[in-house]
Amino acid sequence: MEINEMIKAAEERSANAFKRSEKIALLCQERVLNAFQTHRISARHFAPTEGYGYDDIGRDALDDVFADALNADAALVRPQIANGTHAIFLALSGTLEPNDTVLSLTGTPYDTLESAVGLNGDLPNALSRFGIRFHSVPLLENGIDFACAKKELQSDPTIKMVYLQRSRGYAWRDALSIAKIREAIAFVRSIRSDVIVFADNCYGEFTEEVEPTAVGADLIAGSLIKNCGGGIAPTGGYIAGRKDLIEAVSFRQTVPGCGKEIGSYAASYRPFYQGLFMAPHTVAQCQKSAILFSALFEMLGLKTLPHVDDARSDIIQSVMFRTKEEMIAFMQAVQGAAPIDSYVVPEPWDMPGYADPVIMAAGTFVQGATTELSADGPIRPPYTAYLQGALTYEHAVLAARSVLKALIAAH
**Statement: residue 168 has pLDDT above 90:** no
Q: List beta partners, residue 219.
A: 198, 241
Residues 323, 210, single domain; the answer is no
Consecutive H or E run containing 271: helix 270-299
pLDDT in tens, 288-347: 999 999 999 999 999 999 999 999 999 999 999 999 999 999 999 999 999 999 999 999
Mean pLDDT of the chain: 95
Q: What percent of the chain has pLDDT over 90?
A: 92
Question: For the domain that residue 394 is a member of, what is the CATH number?
Answer: 3.90.1150.60
Res 171: pLDDT:
82
Question: Would you say 111 and 353 are in contact if contact means Cβ atoms under 8 Å apart?
Answer: yes
Residues 198, 241, single domain; the answer is yes
Res 121: pLDDT:
81
**Domain finish residue from 202, 234, 269:** 269
**Statement: residue 70 has pLDDT above 90:** yes
**pLDDT higher at 170 or 43:** 43
Residues 74, 154, single domain; the answer is yes
Q: What percent of the chain has pLDDT over 70?
A: 100
**Domain finish residue from 236, 269, 302:** 269
Q: Is 214 exposed, middle or buried (0-12, 13-18, 19+ CB in 10 A)?
A: middle
Return the minimum-mean-pLDDT range out of 105-114, 175-184, 246-255: 105-114
Query: Would you say residue 70 lies in a domain?
Result: yes
Query: Would you say residue 34 lies in a domain?
Result: no
Residues 172, 292, single domain; the answer is no
Total tally of structural domains belonging to the chain: 2
Residues 255, 302, single domain; the answer is no
Question: Would you say 107 and 137 are in contact if contact means Cβ atoms under 8 Å apart?
Answer: yes
Residues 229, 376, single domain; the answer is no
Res 410: pLDDT:
77
Q: Which domain holds residue 401?
A: 3-26+277-410
Determine the Cα–Cα distance for residues 209 and 306; give it in Å rounded to an integer.
18
pLDDT in tens, 373-385: 999 999 999 999 9
Residues 230, 318, single domain; the answer is no
Per-residue burial over 124-139, b = 16 or more CB atoms within 10 Å of its CB, e = otherwise: eebbbeeebbbebbeb
**Domain finish residue from 247, 269, 291:** 269
The model carries a pTM of 0.95
Residues 163, 143, single domain; the answer is yes
Residues 76, 211, single domain; the answer is yes
Residues 85, 9, single domain; the answer is no
Q: Closest Cα to residue 244, out of 68, 73, 65? A: 73
| pLDDT average, residue stretch 106-120 | 89
Determine the Cα–Cα distance for residues 54 and 34; give it in Å rounded to an integer.
27
Query: Would you say residue 148 lies in a domain?
Result: yes
Residues 163, 307, single domain; the answer is no
| pLDDT average, residue stretch 206-220 | 98
Res 160: pLDDT:
98
Res 353: pLDDT:
66
Determine the Cα–Cα distance for residues 305 and 314; give it in Å rounded to an integer.
11
**Statement: residue 286 has pLDDT above 70:** yes
Query: Would you say residue 354 lies in a domain?
Result: yes
CA 226 from centroid of its chain's CA atoms = 6
| pLDDT average, residue stretch 272-301 | 97
Query: Would you say residue 33 lies in a domain?
Result: no
CA 23 from centroid of its chain's CA atoms = 21
pLDDT in tens, 23-63: 999 999 999 999 999 999 999 999 999 999 999 999 999 99
At residue 112 the predicted structure's pLDDT band, cuts being 50, 70 and 90, is confident
Question: For the domain that residue 170 is a member of, what is the CATH number?
Answer: 3.40.640.10
Residues 154, 124, single domain; the answer is yes
Query: Would you say residue 41 lies in a domain?
Result: no
Q: Closest Cα to residue 96, out of 163, 29, 46, 153? A: 163
Query: Would you say residue 36 lies in a domain?
Result: no
Query: Would you say residue 37 lies in a domain?
Result: no
